[in-house]
Amino acid sequence: MSDASSDRDENSLYRVLARKYRPTTFEDLVGQEALVRTLTNAIDTGRLAHAFILTGVRGVGKTTTARIIARALNCVGPDGEGGPTPAPCGVCDQCVAIAQDRHVDVIEMDAASRTGVADIRELIEGVRYRPVQARYKIYIIDEVHMLSNSAFNALLKTLEEPPEHVVFIFATTEIRKVPVTVLSRCQRFDLRRLTQDDLQGLFSGIAAKESVTVEEEALAMIGRAADGSARDGLSLLDQAIALGGGKEVLADQVQAMLGLADRARIFDLFAAVVRGKVPESLEILGDLYAAGADPAVVMQDLLELAHFLTRAKLVPATLEAPGQPETERLRGRELSERLSLASLARIWQMLLKGLGEVQTAPIPLQAAEMALIRLAYASDLPSPAELVQRLNGAATGGAAPGSAATGAGAGTAAGGSPAASEPAASAEPASPATAMSPPPMVSAERGLPVSDGAPQAALAQPLAHPLAEPAPYEDPEPQLQDQTPPVSVKPQPQSFAEAVALVRAQRETILANHLMDDVNLVRFEPGRIEICVRDAAPPNLASRFAAVLEQACDSRWIISISQEPGATTLREQEREEEAGKRAAVMQHPLVKSALEVFPEAELVARRDPQEVSAAAPAENENGEGEQDA
């Protein structure tokens, strides 16, 4: 159609960048190394399929890849003598014609607009004719999943016996909607979603070629907004370049263009909220709003920051990722070091709830303010851990009741190695105390071999959650799992509860839940369990239970079904036990007075003191300089 220079004259700048820098060789394809390697090998060895299917999210380069394949197959080289090549020359008639979308033997069709059987018939009419100019006649069908069933059937006949000179290349965003009869006749390539690094690298390269200076932060914002799609990102970059007068792209321009809140201010806001500074928090939110930021976007940004800080805490390399602006690295480190995992998890949970409210509230700004106020107050409230710590302190005449901040400060000073001061808890097997889910930091530290009874402690670890329904934000197992020392001796459950805990530790959550809810234990001895199964249980429960146990214990387990009624279910036992303890807690004077001050408050979770005193140092979340004089 037109080359890059005439594209410049058009008003649509979007087409300029996306077209101008559309990759024309496999080498230019960003982020698809695996696909390129496979295709290159296939072409080099001449083992080419007659049908390919390319799948991936929108904008990752499916049709671009299809065109490169078309070129690779039809390129004849600068001298007109070459064969199929993984590195098409780009200068021969074939390459040029394909690049300009005017090659008679490369036929493109968008199945989104032509879904019917007639369209496909018309298209494959030409299949039996030899290519006019090229080696292969290539049919590129985009969004192939949109074809009707009859259209697929018509296509299938051709796919079953494709003529030598025909190659089909399908592209789809929804591979699951493509019939398996079609899939089975295609070589499949998955184009992966582009990472933030891929995108930023691509954009900064293109900006450099365009002689436009783009601030690093602006690149990062565009990269995040592009969400894995090179095409979307390039379109945004186009707009940003247009806004910046074609010379430079500034972060605040992009920020305004995307309706984003200022990154630095988001850090300020987050810090103010977690320090419990309500007026400051509301002022920053107000400023952001006045500057055009959407309250929902502010909440999303805070959530993203909470995630970033949590990740930074567990994976310090997060902070060092290339493209991470210096300010974010420094402030991120500071905040992530100061906040405990438990606090971060709680912040995440509360922000997530707040975001939902902001999205549904008639006046989003008000909902955002309320959410931040709640969060600020939560950061100032003593955590249950601190409550009990204070309680213990009061009992021994220790810490005087003070503000949460001073209490937390004391926690830091004393909290060198909480796990080391708690060897008893580490070495103890799955008693009801360890059964309550411990806060993340503690379980991480407890995973380390701090006590002499290391093997036993390691054994206790997978059994540590037999009865507890973990509180929503206290399930750090996936990240922390690797810190658990390897279990060398296979565990041998000594009770039904332990056996079910073992099932849960094998990540058989559904089975474990059925075992807790729908099974009455009749008799237990190691290796042999008799159970009475309720109707709600799946029919293969006994055999699954046996299989999982055998695998976990490396020994044979016989599970037999009995008609005897058996004991109450584990869930019922758990509820009774919890109800008893809860009643006791509610009677405690400190809890009673807390409920008087906060009548809306609710006892969400209860932990045993042993847990809690170990948790206290990790709960520290209030900043320095907060001590009351």
Residue among 40 and 421 whose Cβ is closer to Zn ion:
40
CB of 28 vs Zn ion, minimal distance in Å: 15
How many Å apart are CA 575 and CA 278, to the nearest integer? 39
CB of 71 vs Zn ion, minimal distance in Å: 6
Residue among 13 and 48 whose Cβ is closer to Zn ion:
48
CB of 140 vs Zn ion, minimal distance in Å: 18
Binding site for Zn ion (CB under 5 A): 75, 88-89, 92, 95
Minimal CA–CA distance to 261: which of 315, 301, 232, 222? 301
CB of 88 vs Zn ion, minimal distance in Å: 5
How many Å apart are CA 381 and CA 362, to the nearest integer? 29
CB of 96 vs Zn ion, minimal distance in Å: 8
Residue among 132 and 629 whose Cβ is closer to Zn ion:
132
Edge to edge, the sheet with strand 528-533 lists: 519-525, 528-533, 558-561
Residue among 88 and 415 whose Cβ is closer to Zn ion:
88
CB of 69 vs Zn ion, minimal distance in Å: 13
127-153 core/surface letters (b: 16 or more CB in 10 A; e: else): beeebeebbbbbbbbbbbbbbeeebbe
231-249 core/surface letters (b: 16 or more CB in 10 A; e: else): bbbbbbbbbbbeebeeebb
DSSP string, 547-614: HHHHHHHSS--EEEE-SS--SPPHHHHHHHHHHHHHHHHHTSHHHHHHHHH-TT--------HHHHHH
CB of 318 vs Zn ion, minimal distance in Å: 44
Residue among 75 and 559 whose Cβ is closer to Zn ion:
75
CB of 82 vs Zn ion, minimal distance in Å: 7
Show Cβ contacts of residue 419 under 8 Å, excluding neighbours closer than 6 positions. 426, 442, 445, 446, 448, 450, 614
Residue among 92 and 284 whose Cβ is closer to Zn ion:
92
Residue among 103 and 514 whose Cβ is closer to Zn ion:
103
Q: Residue 206: what residue type?
A: I
How many Å apart are CA 536 and CA 528, to the nearest integer? 23
Residue among 81 and 600 whose Cβ is closer to Zn ion:
81
How many Å apart are CA 394 and CA 390, to the nearest integer? 6
416 burial level (CB within 10 Å; 0-12, 13-18, 19+): exposed
Q: Do β-strands 166-172 and 187-190 pair in parallel, antiparallel, or remain unpaired?
A: unpaired
| DSSP annotation of 448 | S
Q: What is the crossing angle of helices 570-586 and 496-505, to 10°?
A: 100
CB of 93 vs Zn ion, minimal distance in Å: 8
Residue among 80 and 397 whose Cβ is closer to Zn ion:
80
